[in-house]
Amino acid sequence: MAASNLGSTGADAPARADAHRGRKPAPAASAPCAPGAVVPGATAAAQGGPEHVEAPVAYDAILLAGFGGPEGQDDVIPFLRNVTGGRGIPDERLEEVAHHYRHFGGISPINEQNRALKAALEAELASRGIDLPVLWGNRNWDPYLNDALAEAKRQGLTKLIAIATSAYSSYSSCRQYREDFADALADTGLGDEIQIDKVRQFFDHPGFVLPFIEGVRDGIAQLEASVDGLDRTTGIEVLFATHSIPSTDASKSGPAERGFGEGGAYAAQHRAVAEVVMREAGATDVPWQLVYQSRSGPPSMPWLEPDINDAIAQLPAAGRRAVVIVPLGFVSDHMEVLWDLDNEALETAGEQGLAAVRVPTPGTHPAYVAGLVDLVLERVHGTPAAQRPAMTDLGPWYDVCRPGCCENVRLGFRPALAGLAP
């Protein structure tokens, strides 16, 4: 990381901050690093790189960082170009994915869900008397992260605590957000003025896990009530679904020194949370497995398996009559849930003669919203790690990502905030 600013600031910063609104920032060549700091773009408490920041920080805003999604048919291909930027994928191949969005009128539900989450966070903050505005920016569609930083500049907000709408550790679910923070600072030229920290990955925070516990408990009860003679110990299987990622990237997820093995921290975190959900739902007698969905890329490239549809197809031979599908890797009902689970996976279950229930994602569940605010307050108050809630033995996860965490094997390490280099 370069120990210099990202571009001109000072008198021309407001103009530059507004100059490129409405488009995805280009990749940054460097990230701002204060003299003597080892964490780029961080507040003073995080600049030295502690695993957990236990000093209070007077943040003046929350940055809600989303993935983004199209909001009309004309947006679909430009959005997919943003998502796949730098990979040279022709539009005709992008159209193979675009039909998922076109089925819903070219509108992804994710932006509306983030508007609802932003409003819910604001209401929760207000109910607690916490004066922190919530800015919202996306990685891949309007409003972009650089738009959010331009808004921060206009409001005089300089210390931001970011919440990424992704709970687990991997390149696409953590480091890529951190890279996009660096890109947005470079694009706006605000690297000398705005600092961005990030809350810890919250895969095992009670606020995130509780909605799934409720969903599994309710889903099993629904199947038991609706399927005659169903034995839960042999007739039901719970499938915990998450986005598949390339096996090489999965192996690089999380700090190398933790030694997570095959699937890296990404798979280990999901398995650990699934175990907690089954225990707390009172369902340790019900079979379950971790499955994957939404893979892309050439067939020759290994991705995490089994695919959820393949797993469902094997259930009748194991004596299963019903399946509970749990979107454990997702925070809201966006396209991968609505299409890949509610369309494809439920259709596969029907073809196999299985009764099926898909449980809700956290969305704006009160426990989830309150939990996100609690994660912010951990950093505001500098809460000691020993006092932070975590429902698995893997947490509480790091406030400052460790060196070498979540490398993209194809691209290597790019400038990123909220972590130690590289």
Say which residues have a Cβ less than 8 Å from residue 382's Cβ, sequence separation at least 6. Answer: 45, 53, 54, 55, 56, 57
Same domain, 20 and 154: yes
Boundary-marking domain end, from 317, 341, 358: 358
With 50 as the cut, is the pLDDT of residue 8 above it?
no
Q: In which band, very low, low, confident or very high, does the pLDDT at 154 lie, cut at 50, 70 and 90?
A: very high
Number of Cβ within 10 Å of residue 370's Cβ equals: 18
Q: In which band, very low, low, confident or very high, does the pLDDT at 349 lie, cut at 50, 70 and 90?
A: very high
Same domain, 173 and 225: no
Boundary-marking domain end, from 358, 378, 402: 358
Residue 304 is assigned to a structural domain of this protein? yes
pLDDT score for 61: 98
- pLDDT tens digits, residue range 61-96? 999 999 999 999 999 999 999 999 867 789 998 998
Same domain, 254 and 191: no
Residue 91 is assigned to a structural domain of this protein? no
As a whole number of angstroms, the distance between CA 411 and CA 342 comes to 33
Question: What percent of the chain shows pLDDT beyond 70?
Answer: 95
Q: In which band, very low, low, confident or very high, does the pLDDT at 408 lie, cut at 50, 70 and 90?
A: very high
pLDDT score for 257: 84
Domain count across the chain: 2
Angle CA 271–277–279, to nearest 5: 105
Same domain, 222 and 334: yes
Average pLDDT, the chain: 94
Same domain, 283 and 155: no
Residue 149 is assigned to a structural domain of this protein? yes
Peptide bond into 143 cis (omega under 30): yes
Whether 326 and 292 have beta carbons less than 8 Å apart is answered as no
Same domain, 337 and 352: yes
Residue 95 is assigned to a structural domain of this protein? no
Q: What is the mean pLDDT of residues 209-222?
A: 98
User: What burial class does residue 127 get, using C-beta atoms within 10 Å of its C-beta: 0-12 exposed, 13-18 middle, 19+ buried?
Assistant: exposed
Q: What is the mean pLDDT of residues 144-172?
A: 98
With 80 as the cut, is the pLDDT of residue 17 above it?
no
Helix pair angle (76-83, 91-102), 10° resolution: 120
As a whole number of angstroms, the distance between CA 394 and CA 253 comes to 14
Residue 78 is assigned to a structural domain of this protein? no
Poorest-pLDDT segment among 218-227, 255-264, 339-348, 369-378:
255-264
CB environment 250-284: b (16+ within 10 A), e (fewer): bbbbbbbeeebeebbbbbbbbbbbbbbbbebbebe
pLDDT score for 12: 52
CB environment 107-119: b (16+ within 10 A), e (fewer): bbbbbebbeebbe
Question: 């920032």: which residue's tokens?
Answer: 25
With 90 as the cut, is the pLDDT of residue 299 above it?
no
As a whole number of angstroms, the distance between CA 418 and CA 179 comes to 9
As a whole number of angstroms, the distance between CA 71 and CA 363 comes to 19
Same domain, 33 and 165: yes
Residue 394 is assigned to a structural domain of this protein? no
- pLDDT tens digits, residue range 173-190? 999 999 999 999 999 999
Residue 76 is assigned to a structural domain of this protein? no
User: In sequence order, what are the beta bridge partners of 326?
Assistant: 240
Whether 11 and 132 have beta carbons less than 8 Å apart is answered as no
- pLDDT tens digits, residue range 310-328? 999 999 999 999 999 999 9
pLDDT score for 96: 87
Coil, helix or strand at residue 12? helix
pLDDT score for 359: 98
> Domain range for residue 233?
206-358
CATH number of the domain bearing residue 341: 3.40.50.1400
pLDDT score for 11: 46
Q: What is the mean pLDDT of residues 49-62?
A: 98
Number of Cβ within 10 Å of residue 225's Cβ equals: 9
pLDDT score for 88: 79
Whether 288 and 237 have beta carbons less than 8 Å apart is answered as yes
User: CA distances (Å), 368 to each of 56, 68, 160, 341, 363, in order?
Assistant: 23, 20, 20, 22, 8
Same domain, 33 and 55: yes
Same domain, 195 and 210: no
C-alpha atoms less than 13 angstroms from C-alpha of 100 in its C-beta half-sphere: 20
pLDDT score for 4: 32
Comparing 297 with 325, which gets the higher pLDDT? 325
User: CA distances (Å), 252 to each of 172, 203, 290, 393, in order?
Assistant: 12, 18, 19, 20
Same domain, 136 and 267: no
pLDDT score for 2: 36
With 60 as the cut, is the pLDDT of residue 36 above it?
yes
Same domain, 231 and 336: yes
Same domain, 211 and 162: no
With 80 as the cut, is the pLDDT of residue 21 above it?
no
Q: In which band, very low, low, confident or very high, does the pLDDT at 298 lie, cut at 50, 70 and 90?
A: confident
Residue 399 is assigned to a structural domain of this protein? no
Through-space distance between the first and last CA atoms of the chain, rounded to whole angstroms: 7
Coil, helix or strand at residue 101? helix
With 70 as the cut, is the pLDDT of residue 6 above it?
no
- pLDDT tens digits, residue range 111-123? 999 999 999 999 9
Q: In which band, very low, low, confident or very high, does the pLDDT at 339 lie, cut at 50, 70 and 90?
A: very high
